[in-house]
Structure 1
């Protein structure tokens, strides 16, 4: 990243960061999509097993990955402040932390996986596929978390196109491995849905090795000489990263786990309603890639400017990103209204499920409009390293407000299953208002600091 002086320069730089991030997130979403779709073509039991395994793993992955996301604002602020010499140490310590998290996940999985699956009312075949799918994924835990650290480092330097290229390379690798291992092609064993787990694990090793090569050999990353020197483990550095990362991780976990909770609560409704809910939720998750990508881009841009103590520029990047997110949210809302029928038909041909999906998609409009405000504000706050507010907001808006309101509406009103969506929308709207007020407070404080610095420099002879 470089310093910008006009709004036009800021827009160009922000879009250069944002567009590759968006492509990367869509490609990652596509990997999960193809795992599910290709497993479904193996058998219904394979589809169910992979779906159960994914529903268990996704909230854990996103929450733990949120801890590692702390490296992005740390590196952004260091580069903005011109303290590049400190970056290699931070990246290496984050890598150690990622290794520790991966080992902890594998250990906990070995102890808890069977009790969790046995507590669920699943057919034995489905339970076995889900178990073996997650065991297969575990072989890729170490490279997955290490890659996420390296991606944070790459993105923090504003080089998001590199992350995009790595992910785009990984997508066809993952699809090809799925083809070989799920269906048993070219002499490989037919593993069904379990093959999707092994395909993902191998893909994680591939992208980690590519990322290591990029960081060591290609500029500007090689200039930092990240792995040139050995650094012993520093629990002080871990503490700094965990202080920022744990609130980020928990806020993401609260957000992703709420959907798993709602899906479980939806089991009281008929199959058509559950299917329609899942279809609309899948499409809403796809649309969420836009505000989430904008949020990640804002964190990079704001962190860089805050590190350089250019607080006015940080504020401008914040509102630039929020404005783009709101405009995109409005465009998506118009798109859903215009193509509701076509979107619903992508998921089902059953007439009952189709009509219910169209109704759920109407609520998805308000869902993603709230996301278009809340997500980029979270990104801006993370750029300021203000993460506790988003953690508190996620817990309150989803679990204290959203879920109870949704349960009451679903159980004691005529809204039925739609009540859960209304509850989540209400929680998100509260979160958007709360975060807006928090960002305004942080920016006022930053402006006071900037004016104080200017007055101090002006007073110097």
Structure 2
């Protein structure tokens, strides 16, 4: 990365950082996308099972992996402050922390998975598929978390194109293993929805090994010698990472789990409703990759500028990120509204599911603007290492405001399952407003401190 002086230069650098992150996020997302899409082609029960399994998996993974994302602002500020000698130590400790988290969550899922699924009163086959899918995913937790650390480190150095190339390999690898294991090709067992879990786990291992090779041998990563002179566990460094990372992880968990909670609460509806909801959520999540990628880019750029104590530049990057995301949100909303039937037809040929999905897409289009604001604002706040208040705001917006409103509308009005999506819109909007106010306050505080 480098210092910029003109707005055009800033936008150009932001694009260079964000575009590879976007491609990377889409490639990572495509793993779950193809899990659901290819499972839907196998059968509606497999689609529902993978949808439930994915709804449990995504908030757990994103919440805990969010702790490790703290590597990005920490390394970015170290590089901006020209303290490169400390980079290797913080990354090594991040990898050790990722291993500890992986073991913890693997053991936890193994013991609590069956009781959680039994509470949900699912159809027997759907429950069996969801359980098998999640048990298979456990195999890939260790490499997935370790990859998150290495990717955060590479992104913090501004080398987002490298992580883009690595992650682009994941989608075709995952599709190939999905094809083989879901449908039982080339002599492999026909596992249905469970096969998607095994395919994802294998993909995570391969992508991690490729990343390790690049981090060890390629420039500019080679100069940091990440895998030499390993230090024993330093809980002080774990604390540094966790102090920033836990609020980030909890904020991400609060946001992603609200969607999963809605999916789980919809388990009382028919398999067709669950499938339609999951299809709408799955495609909407794909569009969300744009503001999310801008958010990650904002963290890198703002962290670098804050580390160099160029607070005016950090402020410029903040609002440049938000305005760019808002611009793209209008395109996303148009895609969802005008092409909703065609998109639904990609996922399924079941006419009932298609018609339900089309209705969900209308509500999905409405919260594109809120998503476009709150995501880059969160990324900017992480660049400032301001994470604690952000977590509290996320909890209030999504769980105190959004989910209760959705529940009331679904149970006591004619909106039915669509009431939950109205609640999501209200929660996301509340989050966008409160987070923007927080960002303005932090920027003013930094400017005053500089003077």
Superposition TM-score tier, normalisation by shorter sequence: over 0.9
Query: What is the deviation of 1:129?
Result: 3.1
For normalisation by structure 2, the TM-score amounts to 0.95
What is the alpha-carbon distance in structure 1 between the residues aligned to residue 129 and residue 276 of structure 2? Answer: 24
Indicate the residue corresponding to 2:15 in structure 1.
15
Determine if the alignment matches structure 1 residue 430 to structure 2 residue 444. no
C-alpha distance in 2, partners of 1:173/1:351? 31
- Superposition CA RMSD, Å: 1.9
Is 1:441 matched up with 2:441? yes
Question: Residue deviations 1:255-297, cap 9 Å, x none?
Answer: 1111122223334555554444333222221211111111011
Q: Does 1:87 align with 2:91?
A: no
2:367 maps to 367
CA distance in 2, matches of 1:275, 1:129: 14
Distance 1:171 1:283, change over 3 A: closer
Partner residue in 2 for 1:413: 413
- Would the aligned equivalents of 1:310 and 1:450 in 2 still touch at CA under 8 Å? no
2:265, 2:117 → 1: CA distance? 17
Distance apart, 1:365 and its partner CA? 2.0
Q: Secondary structure at the match of 2:407?
A: helix
Quick one: structure 1 residues 131 and 245, their matched pair in 2 at CA, closer, same or farther if it must change by over 3 Å?
same
CA distance in 2 between counterparts of 1:355 and 1:110 reads: 37
**Contact preservation (8 Å) 2:406, 2:421:** yes
Name 2:55's counterpart in structure 1. 55
Which whole-Å CA distance do the structure 2 matches of 1:17 and 1:334 have between them? 26
Contact 1:50 1:129 in 2 (8 A): yes
When Rg is computed on C-alpha atoms for both structures, the one with the higher figure is 1
Q: What does residue 320 of structure 1 align with?
A: 320
Q: Could you say what secondary structure the match of 2:400 adopts? A: helix
Query: For residues 268 and 46 of structure 1, do their structure 2 counterparts lie closer, same or farther at Cα, with a shift above 3 Å needed?
Result: closer
Which structure 2 segments of 5+ residues have no match? none
Structure 2: distance between partners of 1:99 and 1:106: 11
Q: Distance in 2 between matches of 1:184 and 1:268?
A: 32
Cα deviations across residues 51-79 of structure 1 (Å, max 9, x unaligned)? 33222211101111111111100000000
User: Which residue number corresponds to residue 278 of structure 2?
Assistant: 278
Unaligned runs of 5+ in 1: 452-461
Q: Alpha carbons of 1:155 and 1:111: their partners in 2 closer, same or farther (altered >3 Å)? A: same
Q: Alignment partner of 2:367: what SS?
A: helix
The residue aligned with 1:151 is 151
Tell me if structure 1 keeps the 8 A contact 2:279–2:357.
yes
Q: Deviations for 1:327-381, whole angstroms, at most 9, x for unmatched residues?
A: 0012222333333343344345555544443333222222111000111000000
Cα deviations by residue, 1:196-228 (Å, 9 ceiling, x for unpaired): 222222211111111111111001111111112
Asked whether the 8 Å contact 1:18–1:293 carries over to 2, the reply is: yes
3-state DSSP of counterpart to 1:4: coil
How far apart are the structure 2 equivalents of 1:107 and 1:115? 14
Superposed, which structure 2 residues align to 1:58-69 within 5 Å?
58-69=58-69
Distance 2:118 2:270 in 1: 24
Post-superposition CA distance 1:290-323 (Å, at most 9, x none): 1111101100100010011111111111111111
Q: More displaced, 193-202 or 250-259? A: 193-202
Specify whether residues 415 and 123 from structure 1 end up closer, same or farther in structure 2 by C-alpha distance, changes over 3 A only.
closer
Task: Identify the residue that residue 346 of structure 1 maps to in structure 2.
Answer: 346
Instruction: Return closer, same or farther for 1:115/1:418 CA change in 2, 3 Å cut-off.
Output: closer
More divergent stretch after superposition (250-259 vs 352-361): 352-361
